[in-house]
């Protein structure tokens, strides 16, 4: 039987809950239940709080902040904005200043 993405989420939730539950000697009642497909994971209050904090603290590894020009969230590895095409941040400012001073070798006298 194949291990589905849903199974992986359920396993991760159960492992997460077990890690938090280990700190409470007197486990309380489940206050929430997360359903993934046919499966359900019951969560006690400390687990709900920890899971909420973990989800809010998550930062996608592709998140490089927002563009200085348009505020778009999609900066590439070189901090160039996928929305407006402008380089962002101090590096982007340096690039723009260098590009403004650039003279093509063909435009130089004697070329
Ligand atoms: Zn932009």
Q: pTM of the full predicted structure?
A: 0.68
Query: Which residues make up the environment of ion ligand 1, defined by Cβ < 5 Å?
Result: 67, 69-70, 72, 81, 83-84
The string of pLDDT tens digits covering residues 21-78 is 999 878 789 999 999 999 999 999 999 999 999 999 999 999 999 999 999 999 998 8
Cβ contact 55:25 at 8 Å: no
Higher pLDDT, 44 or 90: 44
* Type and span of the H or E element at 44: strand 39-44
Question: What's the pLDDT score for residue 94?
Answer: 85
CA of 9 to the centre of ligand 1 (A): 34
- pLDDT band at 2, cuts 50/70/90? confident
* Interhelix angle 45-57/5-21, nearest 10 degrees: 120
Q: How far is the CA of 88 from the centre of ligand 1 (A)?
A: 7
Better-scored residue on pLDDT, 89 or 16: 16
């Amino acid at each position: 039987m194949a291990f589905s993405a849903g199974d992986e989420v359920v396993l991760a939730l159960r492992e997460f809950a077990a890690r938090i539950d280990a700190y409470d000697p007197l486990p309380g009642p489940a206050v929430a239940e997360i359903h993934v497909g046919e499966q359900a994971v019951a969560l006690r209050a400390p687990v709900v709080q920890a899971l909420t904090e973990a989800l809010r603290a998550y930062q996608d590894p592709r998140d490089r902040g927002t563009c200085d020009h348009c505020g778009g969230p999609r900066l590439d590895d070189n901090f160039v904005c996928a929305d407006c095409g402008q380089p962002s941040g101090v590096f982007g400012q340096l690039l723009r200043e260098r590009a403004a001073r650039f003279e093509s070798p063909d435009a130089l006298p004697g070329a």
